[in-house]
Structure 1
Amino acid sequence: MRPVLHDSPYGFEVMDKAPANAFATIREDEGLTVIAPGDGWARISLAVHSSLAAVGLSAAISGTLAAAGISCNIVAGYHHDHLFVPWPRRHDAMTALATISGDRP
């Protein structure tokens, strides 16, 4: 999986328009969710190219993090998956992910 921890925290907000530095946007019936540099969440990107059709990767990740008591929001891009975990637990998340990826944080 080769998880990569990004240096800056991110936030999730509902906005009318995404700022230029937005990482991702999700349009829902209730409004536009924007993920951008902010507070509260660490972004961990999986450096391997993942397939949108892959079965079980998200389940393995969320199960491993859940067992460690770490909440996780997964955003899938075309090439990579991005995990958002609570900022204070980011290093714990990297350690937990190492147990299933064989990588060391």
Structure 2
Amino acid sequence: MIRDSKAMIAGLTPLPDPATYMFCTVSTAALTPDMTSLARAMLREEEGVSLILSVEDAAELGLASAAPPMARITLGVHSALDGIGLTATVATVLADHAIPCNMVAGYHHDHVFVPLDQADAALQVLRELQLRGAP
């Protein structure tokens, strides 16, 4: 696992996911085993359970979202959970290009969710960041 911020940026390797995702929410009482098994990620919050689902799975489950459809870009670097600077650097460089992002950290990789219509631009920005190196 990589902890050094410059090494994390050098190994960024942004990988686009062809699927389209939705951020949905359900009450804890409404959460079903199907929702749990189909979710790419889920988080229990005070207001309910947030789910990240493919648009196809969300439709199959009858879930809708007011949030825009999102694309996922996986950062191929094996960053440590206690590594410093990766999330801040990625979020900042995307913000500098007016691209909103939602960062989700998994054990092995970080995942960047961006509005679907800005996915190509986000991918280009992240590739340029990797080539340029950490600020």
Structure 2-normalised TM-score? Answer: 0.73
Q: Name the counterpart of 2:82.
A: 53
Note the aligned Cα RMSD (angstroms): 1.4
Q: Name the counterpart of 1:12.
A: 23
Partner amino acid, structure 1, of 2:37: A
Structure 2 unaligned segments of length 5 or more: list them.
1-11, 56-67
**Structure having greater relative contact order (Cα 8 Å, sep ≥ 6):** 2
Structure 1 runs of 4+ with >6 Å offset:
none
Which secondary structure does the structure 2 equivalent of 1:20 belong to?
helix
1:9-88, aligned counterparts within 5 Å?
9-15=20-26, 16-17=30-31, 18-38=35-55, 40-88=69-117
Partner amino acid, structure 2, of 1:7: P
Write the distance in 2 (CA, Å) between the matches of 1:50 and 1:19.
26
Q: Does 1:89 align with 2:89?
A: no
Write the distance in 2 (CA, Å) between the matches of 1:102 and 1:76.
22
Higher strand share: 1
Write the distance in 2 (CA, Å) between the matches of 1:94 and 1:29.
33
Identify the range of structure 1 (17-26 vs 6-15) with the bigger mean alpha-carbon deviation. 17-26
Tell me how many residue pairs correspond in the alignment: 103
Partner amino acid, structure 2, of 1:36: L
Q: Which has the larger radius of gyration?
A: 2
Write the distance in 2 (CA, Å) between the matches of 1:32 and 1:4.
27
Partner amino acid, structure 2, of 1:33: S
Write the distance in 2 (CA, Å) between the matches of 1:14 and 1:32.
5
1:51-70 Cα deviation digits (max 9, x unpaired): 11111111110011001100
What is the deviation of 1:21?
A: 1.8
Write the distance in 2 (CA, Å) between the matches of 1:102 and 1:42.
22
Percent same amino acid among aligned pairs? 38
Which secondary structure does the structure 2 equivalent of 1:4 belong to?
strand
Structure 1-normalised TM-score? Answer: 0.92
